[in-house]
Amino acid sequence: MASRSRQGRRGPAQAQVTKDSFQNFAARTGIGTGNVAEQARYGFNPISRKRVDLEYMYRGSWVVGAAVDVVADDMTVAGIDFDAGMEPDDVLALESELERTQAWQSIGDVIRWARLYGGAIGVMMIDGQDLSTPLRLDTVTKGSFRGMLVLDRWSLNPTGGEIIEDLGPDIGKPLRYQVMPNAPALRGRRIHHSRIIRADGVELPYQQRLAEQGWGMSVIERLFDRLLAFDSTTQGAAQLVYKAHLRTYKVKGLRDIIATGGKAFDGLVQQINHIRLWQSNEGMTLMDAEDEFEAHQYTFSGLSDVLLQFGQQISGALQIPLVRLFGQSPAGLNASGDSDLRTYYDGIKRQQEARLRSPLTRIMEVVHRSALGRPPKDGVPFAFRPLWQMSEEQKATIANTTTTAVVGAFEAGIIDRTTALKELKNSAEVTGVFGAITSEDIKAAEDEPPPPPEDVINDPAGPSEEHNVPELLPAAPDA
């Protein structure tokens, strides 16, 4: 009775309710219905921890090489433009110092090995300074910056228990790094975090970073299965070429001839060799009347589409368009791939601002002191040069528009001649026009006397009492 009363209070059995996904138990579709699809799982394959495998892949696979190198090259190949307000001589000195120390090559290598291994650093080498102590910019003297030493994550270890506790973006990261005995230089030395620039491959959640000693993940780990599929398909297509043309030759009693051996077998081998020798466009095949010869030719359709699909998956995993990763234009309406490249270059710009600006600002302060022997007044302002290069027609259009706007503002009296020359010179970086305007030209314009008022110039009677300078000043207040 108690059971019935409880059942009565509960009411009739309710149908199962699915709240989070589609399920059809009769058809066994959906997760949780006992079908084959629900048995799929994502496994843990930490390729980032297999240094030798990564190095073999980088050396032996051009796809892996492009996946690692393309982004590193694109983030550093164009360089930077310094603020237009800086003295031209200072800009030349900074650019010469960057070239002398090969700073851009080192920064590119930091990004490169971070993408391959999951992490890397660049150590700023400054004469006469202890690497284990914090960097003091006021101790950097002229000519003391000697470039950067690039070390990947397998060449050094974070010192245990020492983390950055100062509030800021680096909080929680290692305070110092211990260089391993297998490093190319600075073996056994400790390096303070303020003396390095650091790059991680793929950022990981906190618990996963702990498992990787605070580093990130190789970019190869996410696309490893797609890479295997692409290379397997490529090699499989290459193997099929050997079977594209098969010829068969039926010999009566072949098994007995092979088993018996002797002159019969030797004669058969000699006959086959003669067939291969004489078989050409102008030759003929001689065989016994009871033998049969057949040629089978195969055409493999659809393989290019399969390879393209796997290539597109790799491209999507790396966020690098096919036109940049594989050097080929994508199929479809947008045959040139311009929109894909523009989107990719916009992504590179975002990565530069997010990952390069802060460490590059620190490097520029060191470079400025080393190149000029004095600290910068208000930092070293710079902007990353765009990767997208305009055509000559686009440059000419922008130059014409800019010139018209500047000349119009000058003639309207909105800007003076000095400002007009500066605007035209600044536009030379984009258009390539007016680059011949020098600082002396701008200085000469500044020293020119101001033009007389327009109403004096246009008055046919010439200057009069009304245009005397004292009368242009405000009237003195009454006593």
Residue indicated by tokens 């056994």: 188
Residues 6+ apart with CB under 8 A from 35: 28, 29
- pLDDT value, residue 451: 62
Classify the C-alpha dihedral 119-120-121-122 as positive or negative.
negative
- pLDDT value, residue 125: 95
Residues 367 and 148: beta-carbon distance below 8 Å: no
- pLDDT value, residue 20: 54
Q: Which bin fits 209, alpha (ψ -120 to 50), beta or left (φ > 0)? A: alpha
Q: What is the DSSP letter of 111?
A: H
* Alpha carbon distance 230, 309 (integer Å): 9
Residues 22 and 32: beta-carbon distance below 8 Å: no
Q: What is the DSSP letter of 352?
A: I
- pLDDT value, residue 272: 85
pLDDT along the chain (479 residues), means of 10: 46 50 81 81 88 95 94 94 85 94 96 96 94 93 95 91 88 93 93 95 92 93 91 85 78 87 89 80 67 72 81 89 80 58 91 93 95 91 86 82 88 86 80 77 76 54 48 47
Nearest CA among 390, 444, 401, 392 for reference residue 423: 401
Residues 321 and 330: beta-carbon distance below 8 Å: yes
- If residue 109 lies in a helix (H) or strand (E), which one and from where to where? helix 103-117
Residues 65 and 58: beta-carbon distance below 8 Å: yes
- pLDDT value, residue 334: 44
Residues 95 and 80: beta-carbon distance below 8 Å: no
* Alpha carbon distance 41, 369 (integer Å): 55
Residues 6+ apart with CB under 8 A from 178: 156, 157, 158, 159, 188, 189, 190
- Alpha helices in 250-391, H assignment, sequence order: 254-260, 262-278, 303-318, 322-325, 338-351, 357-372
- pLDDT value, residue 155: 95
* Alpha carbon distance 56, 409 (integer Å): 61
* Alpha carbon distance 111, 240 (integer Å): 39
pTM over 0.85: no
Which amino acid belongs to residue 415? I
Q: What is the DSSP letter of 353?
A: I
- pLDDT value, residue 458: 54
